[in-house]
Amino acid sequence: MLTQTNSFRNPFELIDEMIGDVEVNVVNKFAQRYAEVKQDLQDGWNDPILHDRLHYFGTSTPTKDEDGYLPSQLELQKRKEIRSLEYSLRSSGAERFLQRLNGATQSLSAEEFLKYCEGQPELKELTLKKELTRMQYTLYTPDGIKLTDSKEIASYIENESSELSQQHELLYRASNQTIFADIIVALTSFNGLIRPQLSAGTFVNDSSLILDLSSSQPHVRGECFLNVSIPDGHNSQLSLAGALIEVCLCPARNEFQAKVLYLSPCGEEPLAEQQVKDAAKSLAEIASM
């Protein structure tokens, strides 16, 4: 499917790689969102309801582990936070968690995204020069011909009539991985799928785009499989969740829709206790820096 797999990295690095040398401000969206979540953290830990819920996942008083190790209060907090996310993914409330995540995606604005594309003509070059070779593309021409070869798609777009090219310009600018940026931001929060307090990072290992120019209302539909991970305490990453995401943009209808189609924990079994301890210790060290 995807010709090149993105390695583990945080959302800032992922989107920064997507845009390459194109001068856009996608990364700033994540910076703003992370700043907002910092305030969420301050508010959240003063919430007695949240404290009651996290108490379910273990003691809040530092006591020695079975091996004699005495974790700090911050480590215990991080252990609870890891288990809390895992609980959301595995418990009977997983469906409610999915619904809540999709509720967060309803705030996406077609007007804002299209305005953004209008101001970034370089995005079309990003689609043609970079994304066509590392994502799976399908293009349906206005007369219904299906193209899947990247060279054929590039040739069609570059040789399209000026009238059609003008009509489809915003779709071409949107038809790259930046179309997934806003939903990733929407999924980033204290209680979301991507949790900054866990130093959560993302990577995409499968994505595809369908450009349908044969419709009376041309649109682009994209899917990607988003993986969420946290530092594992051993200079690597601990995978926690996977999500299949769909987005659809139709400039003619001024519609920009996004949805998490599928959500699952990584692995059939819950995280081992040692995995949680190692990750929590690493997160506590990061938080103390």
List, as one string, the DSSP characters of 124-152: HHHHHHTGGGTSEEEEE-TT--EE--HHH
Given a contact cutoff of 8 angstroms between Cβ atoms, the answer to whether 237 and 230 are in contact is yes
The Cα 103–Cα 105 span in angstroms is 5
**Taking 50 as the threshold, does the pLDDT of residue 3 lie above it?**
no
pLDDT tens digits along 191-212: 999 999 999 999 887 899 999 9
Paired tokens of 149? 């070869």
Work out the pLDDT band at 17, boundaries 50, 70, 90: very low
Paired tokens of 76? 């215990």
The Cα 264–Cα 110 span in angstroms is 28
Residue 28: the pLDDT is 54
Paired tokens of 250? 């139709």
The Cα 121–Cα 170 span in angstroms is 9
**Taking 80 as the threshold, does the pLDDT of residue 117 lie above it?**
yes
Find the mean pLDDT for residues 103-117.
94
27-36, 110-119, 210-219, range with the lowest pLDDT: 27-36
**Residue that wins the pLDDT comparison between 42 and 173:** 173
User: For the chain, what are the domain ranges?
Assistant: 11-287
37-46, 57-66, 77-86, 236-245, range with the lowest pLDDT: 37-46
Residue 234: the pLDDT is 96
**Taking 60 as the threshold, does the pLDDT of residue 33 lie above it?**
no
Measured CA angle at 53 (ends 50, 57), to 5 deg: 125
Work out the pLDDT band at 76, boundaries 50, 70, 90: very high
151-181: burial string, b at 16+ Cβ within 10 Å, e else? eebbeebeebeeeeeebbbbbbbbbbbbbbb
Given a contact cutoff of 8 angstroms between Cβ atoms, the answer to whether 211 and 223 are in contact is no
Percent of the chain at pLDDT exceeding 90: 70
10 Å Cβ neighbour count for 68?
6
**Taking 90 as the threshold, does the pLDDT of residue 40 lie above it?**
no
Phi, psi (5° rounding) for residue 137?
-115, 145
Mean pLDDT of the chain: 84
